[in-house]
Amino acid sequence: MKFREEGKQKQKPNIDMTPMIDVVFQLLIFFMLSATFVVQSSIQIEMPEAKGATNLEQKDLSVTLAYGTDGPDGKGKIYVDSQDILSMEELTRVLSEKAKDDPDIWLAIRSDARSDTGRLMEVMGIAKSVGMTKFQMVAQPDADDQ
């Protein structure tokens, strides 16, 4: 007694991988796009706290004033975006070039909480002298505001 026909071959089951590849590809694109919107500085400073502080809404250029004993004035390093500035003349030159390229540039100044105000005012004066008029002082929200 034979139940199987002689001419038919047994088919092997297979799994269609196309839907899984589509989902993985879409997840990859999502994570690549969302990762580009994360704004995080690689320069570690102790941010000052301020009541009513909010996240940056607009920024074209950032100046970071770190705390320490090195840097152009012996009070800590200065960075324009992530570029290390070696002298106040270099800071003036870099800011002047940026102001010439875009007269309506927004300058965000990130100062360490331990830095003195005189240094901050000096950097703001340099920026003002080269023609920059739009400033933002960056701070983190006060612990009570969160």
| Collapsed DSSP state (helix, strand, coil) of residue 21 | helix
Higher pLDDT pick, 59 / 57: 59
pLDDT value, residue 74: 80
Amino acid (one-letter) located at 13: P
Q: What is the mean pLDDT of residues 49-62?
A: 64
pLDDT value, residue 24: 95
pLDDT value, residue 39: 53
pLDDT value, residue 54: 57
Domain 49-141 has CATH 3.40.140.10: no
When pLDDT is cut at 50, 70 and 90, the band that residue 44 belongs to is low
Q: What is the mean pLDDT of residues 56-60?
A: 62
Rounded alpha-carbon distances, angstroms, from residue 120 to 10, 62, 112, 116, 129: 80, 13, 10, 7, 14
User: What residue ranges do the domains of the chain occupy?
Assistant: 49-141
Rounded alpha-carbon distances, angstroms, from residue 13 to 10, 16, 19, 30: 10, 10, 17, 33
Q: Are the CB atoms for 66 and 112 separated by under 8 Å?
A: yes
pTM: 0.60
Residue 12 has pLDDT above 70, yes or no: yes
Q: What is the mean pLDDT of residues 12-30?
A: 91
Higher pLDDT pick, 26 / 8: 26
pLDDT value, residue 41: 55
Number of residues assigned to the chain: 146
When pLDDT is cut at 50, 70 and 90, the band that residue 27 belongs to is very high
Higher pLDDT pick, 87 / 139: 87
Look at 43-47, 89-93, 95-99, 128-132 and tell me which has the smallest mean pLDDT: 43-47
